[in-house]
Amino acid sequence: MAEYANIIVDIYQGKLDKTFQYRVPERLKSTIAVGMLVAVPFGSRKMQGYVIELTDVCEYEEDKIKEILSIVKGGVLIESQMIALAGWMRENYGGTMNHALKTVLPVKEKKKAKEQKTIRLALHPVEAKNELAECERKHKTARAKLLVALLEQRELEWETATQQMSVSASVIRAMEEAGIVKVVSKTAYRNPVGGLDPGGEQKKLNEEQQNVVSKITMEYDAGERKTYLIKGVTGSGKTEVYMELIAHVLAQGKQAIVLIPEIALTYQTVRRFYNRFGAQVSIINSKLSAGERYDQFERAKNGEISVMIGPRSALFTPFPALGIIIIDEEHEASYKSETVPRYHARETAIQRAKMTDAVVVLGSATPSLESYYKAENDEYCLLELKHRVQKRPMPLCEIIDLREELRRGNRSILSDRLSELMEDRLKKGEQTMLFINRRGMAGFVSCRACGHVIKCPHCDVSLSQHGSGAATRLVCHYCGYTTIQPGLCPVCGSKYISGFKAGTQKIEQVVKARFPQARVLRMDMDTTRTKDGYEQILSAFSNHEADILIGTQMIVKGHDFPGVTLVGVLAADLSLYISDYRASERTFQLLTQAAGRAGRGDIPGNVIIQTYDPDHYSITTAKEQNYEAFYGQEIEYRKMMRYPPVWNMLYILCASKNEAEASEAAVALMGKIDQIVRENSEKIFPIGPSDAPVAKISDVYRKVIYVKTREYQTLVILKDGLEAFIKDNRLYQNVAVGFDFNPVNG
């Protein structure tokens, strides 16, 4: 029972940082809780505020501190719920209450008197690069400067261009008239789906779909609130099931949140929801400004909308009577936040649902090990869709051993079998997707004479090559450092220094050389730089404006291309060698999802998986689309190695500009952990400290410690103990310590 309460008095002034401390009177001690609305004396007035933290530490002068007057009756508003959720997040993921509040509550932006204008490319990046070359040739330097910036950043503030870059307004207007750039005022995005027309017919669910819907809705109406896991093969009609469930809760006056990974949040997807539910649907995505997000959340609170679709952050939509939270592609790594608080949307959704009397529905063709493990242990209720809709067959999958291919003298990226099938599809006018599961497209730059690799001066990583010709730049993916490509090796002076390209660009060259008649599209970081680049490529391919689409994992995420009858995975094992205990899971998921892109129309599809490791279980089970077999092997490995989901893992990072200080801090922390381990009855296994996989970022050195235990709660208690140890300890004055529970990249 805490003595003091930290209170935010006026929540919507955007002053989340500013809390006031009050004493909790004896009579309220047993009832007061984080999130409650209370009445407090404020100056000479009486005001209302939210309790955001309860503590025994007095942070104000003892004799001047005022008492809370009362708990406001009926004050369980949506804000209270969200603040309580923030409290839970702080507790379970670390970080400060302020971080947590900023995550769950949208901050009202002070409206600028002037409208905000931004400049975007109106051209496809390829055309823009041609334009850039043209401008450089004609010495139109202002135009060239703007183009280079837009190719890098996709969007520029009007002020940045006109003031910092000194590009005059008339140049920008001239470029707009020539159709090279677009000038957009931000207010145009206040209703992100305003332009869509409702309509379209509703599908009649098949028996499998209907069974899933009936089970969930019947239990819902009976007042049961569970977490369901729908394991449905690719193309089994999960989205139709979601929509039916949403319709059910909407009919009872409740609201729905649908989480979809940002990359899959395309026009095509949003359109399906809009067709069914019309203007009560809205979306949010990372392209919305804080103000626009605030507007969407206001509309949700006012009852103007009742279905919100979006990535992770849509989870915090302040619906007053939330009925259901759906998480599509629940296995996606993007559901884990990479910034403090490092929350997982799945766990947080379950917590929010608990607080608001909602159900959670998770869906995937390849559930995360976490969720399937919970389903096996009856924490989640497993429901299955085993067949594709309309009896469409599953694709035919073949594994090609690339070592065998080499032995026969074929050194190409394309195996003979894949080439043969591609040839066949071109003849028939059907489409092919080629997929390389590799992060980052352009490779590193190295010297072929001495082997020197060009690294970022501030980070422990190699620079990546972007663009080509005059626009070639070397970019650090961690800190954004950009430089030009050197002509000579800085170590030995050799001129044989070049980019190692095994990425999509290289594949495009090979494919074009092999099939000169084919129309080829490429989708990667470079070609999707502009705001609509991604959508443009997808819709061009879906309109059959190309025969072959080449891309990274971007292209496998839940898109429906009925014309695709061949999918080629070029080097399936690339994702097996990343230093991450989830490497096999990632590989299995990527291959299964990639295979799922084949044959979604009426013609059955073929899948070719090329690999150097044809016997690896993640590859053989993906070939058979046998999730259970994969899961069986993988969970044994996790058990043996004490990895999640069987065990829980806490990752602790000590970061400092001073390497010695970072080390010292990490060693001291390890000492403290050892002490806690000795005092604890539960088995705790700490490992470290050691250098992080990326040992330096932006000149900051990074040391890590991993701790494994059976119970999550043990790790939470450990973290609390360490936070107390760090606080006021001089060792940590210049060292930032971060906690990450069950990290997704580790």
Query: Per the annotation, where are the binding residues for Zn(2+)?
Result: 447, 450, 456, 459, 476, 479, 489, 492
Which of Zn ion, ligand ADP, none binds 458 (CB below 5-8 Å, type-dependent)? Zn ion
**Among 560, 580, 659, 664, contact with ligand ADP (rule: CB under 6 A):** 560
**What are the residues whose beta carbons fall under 8 Å from the beta carbon of 479, sequence distance 6 or more?**
456, 458, 459, 697, 698
Containing 272, the helix (H) or strand (E) segment is helix 267-277
Which of Zn ion, ligand ADP, none binds 185 (CB below 5-8 Å, type-dependent)? none
Which of Zn ion, ligand ADP, none binds 489 (CB below 5-8 Å, type-dependent)? Zn ion
- Cβ atoms within 10 Å of 153's Cβ, excluding its own: 13
For 268, the token pair is 């095509």
* 364-372, 458-466, 502-510, 659-667 -> range binding Zn ion (CB under 5 A): 458-466
Burial 367-395, CB ≥16 within 10 A → b, else e: bbbbbbbbbeeeebbbbebebbbeebebb
Question: In 3D, which of 157, 134, 156, 152 has the Cα closest to residue 144?
Answer: 134
Number of C-alpha atoms within 13 angstroms, CB side, residue 595? 30
- Distance between CA atoms of residues 245 and 255, nearest Å: 11
**What are the residues whose beta carbons fall under 8 Å from the beta carbon of 433, sequence distance 6 or more?**
548, 549, 550, 551, 555, 561, 564, 566, 567, 568, 594, 597, 598
Which of Zn ion, ligand ADP, none binds 238 (CB below 5-8 Å, type-dependent)? ligand ADP
Report if residue 232 touches ligand ADP, rule: CB under 6 A.
Answer: yes
Please, what is the angle between helix 97-104 and helix 78-93, to 10°? 130
**Among 442, 489, 521, 649, contact with Zn ion (rule: CB under 5 A):** 489
- Cβ atoms within 10 Å of 579's Cβ, excluding its own: 8
**Among 49, 237, 443, 533, contact with ligand ADP (rule: CB under 6 A):** 237
Containing 387, the helix (H) or strand (E) segment is none
Report if residue 477 touches Zn ion, rule: CB under 5 A.
Answer: no
Which of Zn ion, ligand ADP, none binds 491 (CB below 5-8 Å, type-dependent)? Zn ion
For residues 196 and 202, the answer to whether their CB atoms sit within 8 Å is no
Report if residue 390 touches ligand ADP, rule: CB under 6 A.
Answer: yes
Give the number of residues in contact with ligand ADP, rule: CB under 6 A: 16
**Among 181, 205, 259, 308, contact with ligand ADP (rule: CB under 6 A):** 205
Cα-Cα-Cα-Cα torsion 78, 296, 261, 224, nearest 10 degrees, comes to: 30
Report if residue 240 touches ligand ADP, rule: CB under 6 A.
Answer: yes
The mark string for 387-426 relative to Zn ion (x by CB under 5 A, - otherwise) is ----------------------------------------
Report if residue 494 touches Zn ion, rule: CB under 5 A.
Answer: yes
* 30-38, 90-98, 479-487, 514-522 -> range binding Zn ion (CB under 5 A): 479-487
- Cβ atoms within 10 Å of 491's Cβ, excluding its own: 14
**Among 206, 217, 351, 663, contact with ligand ADP (rule: CB under 6 A):** 206
**Among 231, 238, 466, 522, contact with ligand ADP (rule: CB under 6 A):** 238
Which of ligand ADP, Zn ion, none binds 147 (CB below 5-8 Å, type-dependent)? none
For residues 351 and 322, the answer to whether their CB atoms sit within 8 Å is no
Report if residue 491 touches Zn ion, rule: CB under 5 A.
Answer: yes
* 14-22, 136-144, 450-458, 622-630 -> range binding Zn ion (CB under 5 A): 450-458
Q: Which amino acid is at 158?
A: W
CB of 489 to Zn ion, least distance (A): 3
For 164, the token pair is 């910092």
DSSP state of 598: T
Report if residue 235 touches ligand ADP, rule: CB under 6 A.
Answer: yes
With respect to ligand ADP, which residue has the nearer C-beta, 238 or 506?
238
With respect to ligand ADP, which residue has the nearer C-beta, 209 or 366?
209
For 520, the token pair is 């080829």
CB of 363 to Zn ion, least distance (A): 37
CB of 389 to ligand ADP, least distance (A): 4
Report if residue 332 touches ligand ADP, rule: CB under 6 A.
Answer: no
* 14-22, 100-108, 236-244, 635-643 -> range binding ligand ADP (CB under 6 A): 236-244
Which of ligand ADP, Zn ion, none binds 47 (CB below 5-8 Å, type-dependent)? none
Please, what is the angle between helix 659-679 and helix 712-726, to 10°? 130
CB of 238 to ligand ADP, least distance (A): 4
E strand intervals along 422-577: 431-435, 445-447, 464-466, 473-475, 482-484, 497-499, 520-523, 548-551, 564-569
Report if residue 308 touches Zn ion, rule: CB under 5 A.
Answer: no
DSSP state of 197: P
CB of 497 to Zn ion, least distance (A): 7
- Distance between CA atoms of residues 16 and 97, nearest Å: 10
Determine if residue 698 is left, alpha or beta; phi over 0 gives left, psi from -120 to 50 gives alpha, anything else beta: left
Backbone angles phi, psi at 42, to 5 degrees: -135, 105
* 183-191, 203-211, 532-540, 705-713 -> range binding ligand ADP (CB under 6 A): 203-211
Report if residue 481 touches Zn ion, rule: CB under 5 A.
Answer: yes
Report if residue 473 touches Zn ion, rule: CB under 5 A.
Answer: no
**Among 209, 371, 528, 593, contact with ligand ADP (rule: CB under 6 A):** 209
- Distance between CA atoms of residues 286 and 310, nearest Å: 9
Largest Cα–Cα separation, the chain = 88
**Among 135, 149, 315, 447, contact with Zn ion (rule: CB under 5 A):** 447
For 698, the token pair is 């932006």
Write out the residues near Zn ion by the rule CB under 5 A.
447, 449-450, 452, 456, 458-459, 476, 478-479, 481, 489, 491-492, 494
Write out the residues near ligand ADP by the rule CB under 6 A.
203-206, 209, 232, 234-240, 389-390, 560
